Amino acid sequence: MDHNLRVARLLAVHGLELARHLRRLVRDDDVAQDLLQDTLLRAHRALTRLGSGANERAWLYRIATNAALNHLRKQGRERRALEHHAREAELAVSPDTGGDGQDVAGRQRLMLWRRVAELPQRQRVALTLRVADELEYEEIAARMGCTVEAARANVYQATKKLRLEVT
Amino acid sequence: MSEHVTTERRAVERIVLGAFRQLTGRESGVLRYAIMDDTPVGILGLSAGAAGLNHVDFVKDEDAFVERLLAEFGDRPVMRSTALDRARRELERYFKGRDLAFDLEVDLSALSAFDRKVLEVTARIPAGKVATYAQVAAKAGNPRASRAAGNALHKNPVAIIVPCHRVLRSDGSLGGYGGGLPVKEWLLRHEGAIATSLL
């Protein structure tokens, strides 16, 4: 089978499921499509190397999840840099307000958001799949390419860290 | 189905189609497929385009079916989909014996005029009844073309839906079947066209 046909086959069989997964993680259709293409090309190379015995679906999910995480991490870094610049610019304009204008709940939300962004990536994606997608641990494990116990542990560690941060 | 789910499905399909276009150059007329892997006659592969159902095949597995579709529809994106739920439901009802008739859009445009005519004639044989190759050929307009009618039935792209299993030899023997003779026997027995005790 030629290269094009193999990629088309992966897309035919797994495309919808992966696209839904990526779209839920990154919440942007254009980015999801870019990541899907990226995932297929990478998976195609990996699977050509591994041969037909490999668990294709698990591979694809793992590669897609990592691609989405890389994207989100990069985006998070950019957002934090922007926020930093914005705060500096604000201080430069009115140095005497120094953050007192912000309400407590808003500041806490921002802190929480930052903590989520800084969680180790497997904890973060497990938490996203559990809380945002409301998935069962079996399904989280399948998508992350790990055991059910590991999925449960990742979610547990993530919530534990966040709870410490909030209280 | 809620509006949200439909919107999500459309968005997700757009993403996959975009990826198809970018990676493979396939873009015209998406082909959707589904696999029924637990039927009394084995694994079935279903596919449909905008004009209706164009495959109900007996298949070894999903991979084999997808490879067949990609080879046959060279310029079109192929994707697994829940859009074939209606065909799947009607087949499930058929297998449970609740309703042996089908009401589905079928696309036979890939066939020659004679082959199509043979299948249209065959589609009118009701469940529980059988016809011979010669009878079908005659009804399709050429009484001496029973071998050609047999060939046309062999090319039937939508097994079970167009009931080519209801066509037998003039001596009453089963003739041939793409899904294998045990399947043909099972289908006819299921429809009550042949008594269990005779088999």
B147's tokens: 């071998």
Burial of B90 (0-12, 13-18, 19+ CB in 10 A): middle
What's the pLDDT score for residue A68?
A: 92
- Are A13 and B80 within 8 A, CB to CB? yes
For chain B, what is the domain count? 2
Do B77 and B148 belong to one domain?
no
Do B87 and B10 belong to one domain?
yes
Q: Contact A11/B19, CB-based, under 8 Å? A: yes
pLDDT bin (cut points 50, 70, 90) of residue A82 is: low
Question: Which tops the pLDDT comparison, B9 or B139?
Answer: B139
In a domain, B104, yes or no: no
- % of chain B residues with pLDDT over 90: 81
Do B88 and B7 belong to one domain?
yes
Q: Specify whether B194 is catalytic.
A: no
Provide, as residue numbers in chain A, all residues whose Cβ is less than 8 Å from the Cβ of B15.
19, 22-23, 29, 32-33, 36
Do B17 and B90 belong to one domain?
yes
* Highest mean pLDDT of the ranges A19-28, A79-88, A123-132: A19-28
Domain boundary among B95, B129, B162: B95
Is pLDDT of B27 > 60? yes
In the DSSP assignment, the letter for residue B126 is P
In a domain, B194, yes or no: yes
Do B90 and B131 belong to one domain?
no
Q: Could you say which of B8, B13, B70 has the minimum Cβ distance to residue A12?
A: B70
Do B68 and B128 belong to one domain?
no
Give A44→chain B minimum CA distance, Å: 12
Do B118 and B173 belong to one domain?
yes
Q: Contact B15/A36, CB-based, under 8 Å? A: yes
What's the pLDDT score for residue A95?
A: 44
Per-residue model confidence as pLDDT tens digits over A19-71: 999 998 898 999 999 999 999 998 888 777 776 666 888 889 989 999 998 89
Domain boundary among B30, B63, B95: B95
The pairing of beta strand B78-80 with beta strand B31-39: parallel
State the fold for domain A103-167: Arc Repressor Mutant, subunit A (1.10.10)
Q: Which domain holds residue B27?
A: 3-95
pLDDT bin (cut points 50, 70, 90) of residue B28 is: confident
- % of chain B residues with pLDDT over 70: 95
CATH, residue B20 = 3.30.160
Provide, as residue numbers in chain B, all residues whose Cβ is less than 8 Å from the Cβ of A24.
none
Do B50 and B117 belong to one domain?
no
Domain boundary among B64, B95, B126: B95
Give B78→chain A minimum CA distance, Å: 5
What's the pLDDT score for residue A97?
A: 43
Rounded mean pLDDT, B25-31: 88
Is pLDDT of B195 > 70? no
What's the pLDDT score for residue B123?
A: 96
State the fold for domain A1-75: Rna Polymerase Sigma Factor; Chain: A (1.10.1740)
Is pLDDT of A104 > 70? no
Identity of residue A79: R
ipTM of the complex: 0.83
Neighbouring C-beta atoms of residue A66, cutoff 10 Å: 18
Q: Contact B19/A15, CB-based, under 8 Å? A: yes
What's the pLDDT score for residue A167?
A: 52
In a domain, B146, yes or no: yes
User: Residue B130: phi, psi to the nearest 5?
Assistant: -130, 165
pLDDT bin (cut points 50, 70, 90) of residue B193 is: confident
What's the pLDDT score for residue B109?
A: 94
Kind and range of the H or E element at B128?
none
Q: Which of B10, B12, B66 to mutate to test the interface with A (most CBs of A within 10 A)?
A: B12
Do B126 and B181 belong to one domain?
yes
Provide, as residue numbers in chain A, all residues whose Cβ is less than 8 Å from the Cβ of B33.
12
Per-residue model confidence as pLDDT tens digits over B180-191: 999 999 999 999
Q: Contact B16/A16, CB-based, under 8 Å? A: yes
A62's tokens: 């793992």
Is pLDDT of B19 > 50? yes
CATH 1.10.1740.10 location in chain A: 1-75
Q: Contact B19/A33, CB-based, under 8 Å? A: yes
How many inter-chain contacts (A to B, CB under 8 Å) are there? 81
pLDDT bin (cut points 50, 70, 90) of residue A113 is: low
Q: Which of B4, B5, B22, B23 to mutate to test the interface with A (most CBs of A within 10 A)?
A: B23
Q: Contact B19/A41, CB-based, under 8 Å? A: no
Do B89 and B119 belong to one domain?
no
Question: Which tops the pLDDT comparison, A83 or A61?
Answer: A61
What's the pLDDT score for residue A1?
A: 59
**Report field, pTM of the whole predicted structure over 0.80:** no
Please name the residues in contact with B17: beta carbons below 8 A apart, sequence gap of 6 or more.
B27, B30, B77
Provide, as residue numbers in chain B, all residues whose Cβ is less than 8 Å from the Cβ of A4.
23-25
pLDDT bin (cut points 50, 70, 90) of residue A91 is: low
CATH, residue B152 = 1.10.10.10
Provide, as residue numbers in chain A, all residues whose Cβ is less than 8 Å from the Cβ of B66.
9, 12-13
Rounded mean pLDDT, B50-74: 94
Per-residue model confidence as pLDDT tens digits over B47-59: 999 999 999 999 9
In a domain, B108, yes or no: no
Interface of B with A in 179-198 (CB under 8 A): none
Provide, as residue numbers in chain B, all residues whose Cβ is less than 8 Å from the Cβ of A52.
none
Least confident of A74-78, B74-78, B158-162, B172-176: A74-78
Do B89 and B123 belong to one domain?
no
Do B131 and B175 belong to one domain?
yes
A73's tokens: 């991490």
Q: Contact A37/B80, CB-based, under 8 Å? A: no
Residue linked to tokens 């082959």: B115
Per-residue model confidence as pLDDT tens digits over B112-121: 999 999 999 9
Is pLDDT of A128 > 60? yes
CATH 1.10.10.10 location in chain A: 103-167
Per-chain mean pLDDT for chain A: 80
- Bridge partners of B32, per DSSP, are B48, B79
CA torsion A9-A11-A12-A13 (nearest 10°) is 90
Q: Contact A4/B24, CB-based, under 8 Å? A: yes
Nearest to A119 by CA among A105, A107, A131: A131
What's the pLDDT score for residue A94?
A: 47
Q: Contact A37/B77, CB-based, under 8 Å? A: no
CB contact B32 to A (< 8 Å): no
B7's tokens: 């919107």
> In sequence order, which ranges of chain A are alpha helices (DSSP H)?
3-26, 29-50, 56-93, 104-118, 121-131, 137-144, 148-166
In a domain, B100, yes or no: no
The pairing of beta strand B42-49 with beta strand B31-39: antiparallel
What's the pLDDT score for residue A163?
A: 79
